[in-house]
């Protein structure tokens, strides 16, 4: 009887753990695909990104990718969600810099420029966002992810600033900073004027932290 009970438990354990292992494998494959899609987007642009290019970047079969993402639209929308969620997690890690006053805000902005904006991840996200301007199905798919991103940032700020007034002021400052950094990448980044970008960012930091 003892042996039978042991076998039953082992069988139950196998049944219960198999879905967990499968879910972990599936999540790992999706992460691998997201990272491959990010590289392709950053290197070749949205319109040159294809299922076949991502398959090659990930070194997987077309069937493995299309099991998770049947079409390019599915892959691009889900990649945008992945990149936006990473952005919220990054902000959650550095948000306490903001509580240190002007010096903390200055450091947070410089880190944001280095660790967020000057990355393949942000280049890939920009490709998707620019494409969504004229691609209505893509726009409809990524709009909820953008709303979730904003909600996530607001939630992190609320945890740091319980009072509405200072939180609103910081949020406006961060929004303007994000617009400025994106503009620098799109305009001066195309020219390759690194010195100008650094000078403008330094000047903005002096203004916003007065």
Structural domain boundaries enclosing 171: 2-208
pLDDT of residue 11: 43
DSSP string, the chain: -HHHHHHHHHHHHHHHHHHHHHHHHHHHHHHHHHHHHHHHHHHH-TTT--HHHHHHHHT--HHHHHHH-SSHHHHHHHHHHHHHHHHHHHHHHHGGGGGG-HHHHHHHHHHHIIIIITSHHHHHHHHHHHHHTT-HHHHHHHHHHHHHHHHHHHHHHHHH--SHHHHHHHHHHHHHHHHHHHHHHHTHHHHT-HHHHHHHHHHHHHHHT-
Q: What pLDDT shows up at residue 105?
A: 79
Total domains in the chain come to: 1
- Say if residue 101's pLDDT is above 90: no
Average pLDDT over residues 27-33: 95
- 23 or 163: whose pLDDT is higher? 23
Which range (13-22, 48-57, 112-121, 135-144) has the least confidence? 13-22
User: 132-158: per-residue pLDDT in tens?
Assistant: 999 999 999 999 999 999 999 888 888
What is the pLDDT at residue 189?
67
pLDDT over 50 at 10, yes or no: no
pLDDT at residue number 168: 82
- What is the pLDDT, as a whole number, of residue 61? 95
* Residue 36's CATH number: 1.10.357.10
- Identify the band that residue 165 occupies on the pLDDT scale cut at 50, 70 and 90: low
173 pLDDT more than 70:
yes
Inform me whether the pLDDT recorded for 9 exceeds 60: no
């Amino acid at each position: 009887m003892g042996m039978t009970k042991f076998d039953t438990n082992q069988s139950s354990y196998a049944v219960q753990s198999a879905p967990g292992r499968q879910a972990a494998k599936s999540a790992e494959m999706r992460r691998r695909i997201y990272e491959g899609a990010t590289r392709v987007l950053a290197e070749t642009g949205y319109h040159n990104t294809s299922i076949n290019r991502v398959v090659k970047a990930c070194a997987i079969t077309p069937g493995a990718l299309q099991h998770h993402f049947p079409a390019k639209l599915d892959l691009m929308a889900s990649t945008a969600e992945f990149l936006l969620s990473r952005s919220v997690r990054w902000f959650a890690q550095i948000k306490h810099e903001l509580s240190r006053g002007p010096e903390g805000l200055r450091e947070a902005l410089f880190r944001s420029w280095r660790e967020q904006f000057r990355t393949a991840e942000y280049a890939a996200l920009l490709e998707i966002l620019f494409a969504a301007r004229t691609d209505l199905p893509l726009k409809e798919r990524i709009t909820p992810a953008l709303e979730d991103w904003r909600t996530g940032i607001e939630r992190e700020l609320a945890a740091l600033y319980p009072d509405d007034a200072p939180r609103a002021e910081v949020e406006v400052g961060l929004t303007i900073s994000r617009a400025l950094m994106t503009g620098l990448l799109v305009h001066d980044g195309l020219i390759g004027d690194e010195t100008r970008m650094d000078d403008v960012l330094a000047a903005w930091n002096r203004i916003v932290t007065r």
